[in-house]
Amino acid sequence: MAALQSYAADWDAQGTPVWFTTWLPLLERFRARVGDLLNAPSGSTAIAPSVSVALTTLATGLPLPPGRDKVLIGELDFPTIGHQWLSRPGFQVEFVPSEDGMTIPPEAFAERIDSRTALVATTHLFYTTGYLQDVRAIAAAAHASGALCLIDGYQTCGCVPLDVAEMDCDAFVGGCLKWVSGGPGNAFLYVRPELIPRVRPQGTGWFATRDPFSFTLQELVWADDARRLETGTWAVGCHYAGLAGLEMVLDVGVANIQERLRDLTDRILERCDEAGVKTFTPRERSKRCGIVTLECDRPEEVESRLLAAGVIVDSRPGRVRLSPHWCVTEDELERGMDLVLDQVQAAARTRS
Ligand SMILES: Cc1ncc(COP(=O)(O)O)c(C=O)c1O
């Protein structure tokens, strides 16, 4: 809230010059903090208004291996990943199935990667089950066949320690809306530094050029760094909030947040087991973080009853999703779970 108030105050006090004194430096700091979050080198991160836009830019901009047209996507991935390549006639999209509806082992990707595969694009943590994928294994399988690997880490930014070099992915997209608590309009992307000189998005803008303020119309000279993945003027107010969220989670420590969330999800799973409510989230602590989904009849109705009782959950088809953040106390979790389990069981009783 304080960050959003300073946005208004800076603008009011300075007028247009605020761009140069405050706003452009703030965007630079935002890119640097994203670098800290991903453990990515300076110049390899860029800002995007949403993860979908970041994926659109990468879908045309990544230097994919020539002569290949297949994109492999996990069956449990977020829809916008599929849409990116389904909308492009030049690509054949293949979805890697999940045997148990909860996980996809890296071997299932590896088995389907062949000499036609240009890209493996998948999420770090599945939004409907909370399963944390082994990115390094998926990237290794892609690279072994000459394909690239793109990871959507929207559900791990701010709650799982990230290291793009260790994961060995070629591109990574994420944002501040979810576990970074920085609000919308604050997505970002990373591209492996060696690939950046060959990145040429088909769809760009003046802020992707080396010197936007040269106002050069008749030629396009890309920025040398990942800024070439950006487009036009940024929604700066959003980035005040996004930067505050980033600095807060970096200050608290993402590894600390991860431990806390795993403790909370341990307890949620225990409460569900005691109540006999089915869950779709892995038991193994290292394979999940902050999300647990529960089987639920009429999840939208359950969601609105819980909201009226002061508990915020999400509904997804056939499920409710619980995602407590690190600020939730043990006592709040117990009281929240009493209400969640009551509602889920009441919905099941009216079915039978
Ligand atoms: C993993 C994942 N990727 C992408 C998105 C969509 O992001 P955006 O709305 O910024 O395009 C979501 C939204 O919930 C998500 O969970």
pTM over cut 0.75 = yes
Position 340 confidence tier, pLDDT thresholds 50, 70, 90: very high
| Residue 50 alpha carbon, nearest atom of ligand 1 | 10
Position 4 confidence tier, pLDDT thresholds 50, 70, 90: very high
Query: 20 C-alpha to center of ligand 1: Å?
Result: 31
Share of the chain above pLDDT 70, in %: 99
The answer on pLDDT for 226 being more than 70 is yes
52-97 tens-digit pLDDT:
999 999 999 999 999 999 999 999 999 999 999 999 999 999 999 9
Domain 2-252 listed as CATH 3.40.640.10:
yes
**Taking residues 120-140, what's their average pLDDT?**
97
| Residue 187 alpha carbon, nearest atom of ligand 1 | 10
Segments making up each domain of the chain, as ranges: 2-252, 254-351
**Taking residues 108-124, what's their average pLDDT?**
98
**Taking residues 136-163, what's their average pLDDT?**
98
Asked if 164 and 38 count as a contact pair (C-beta separation under 8 A), the reply is yes
**Which residue has the least CA distance to atom 6 on ligand 1?**
51
**Taking residues 252-259, what's their average pLDDT?**
98
Position 350 confidence tier, pLDDT thresholds 50, 70, 90: confident
The answer on pLDDT for 29 being more than 70 is yes
308 class by beta-carbon count within 10 Å (0-12 exposed, 13-18 middle, 19+ buried) = exposed
Q: Which has the closest alpha carbon to 113: 167, 160, 61, 149?
A: 149
Query: 122 C-alpha to center of ligand 1: Å?
Result: 12
Average per-residue pLDDT for the chain: 97
Model pLDDT, residue 211? 97
CATH topology of domain 254-351: Aspartate Aminotransferase, domain 1 (3.90.1150)
The three-class DSSP label of residue 288 is coil
Q: Residues 6 or more apart from 237 whose CB is under 8 A from it? A: 4, 7, 185
Compute the distance between CA of residue 320 and CA of residue 129 in angstroms, rounded to an integer: 10
Query: 333 C-alpha to center of ligand 1: Å?
Result: 26
Binding-site residues, ligand 1, Cβ < 6 A: 50-52, 78, 80, 123, 127, 152, 154-155, 175, 187
Query: 218 C-alpha to center of ligand 1: Å?
Result: 36
Query: 127 C-alpha to center of ligand 1: Å?
Result: 9
Position 352 confidence tier, pLDDT thresholds 50, 70, 90: low
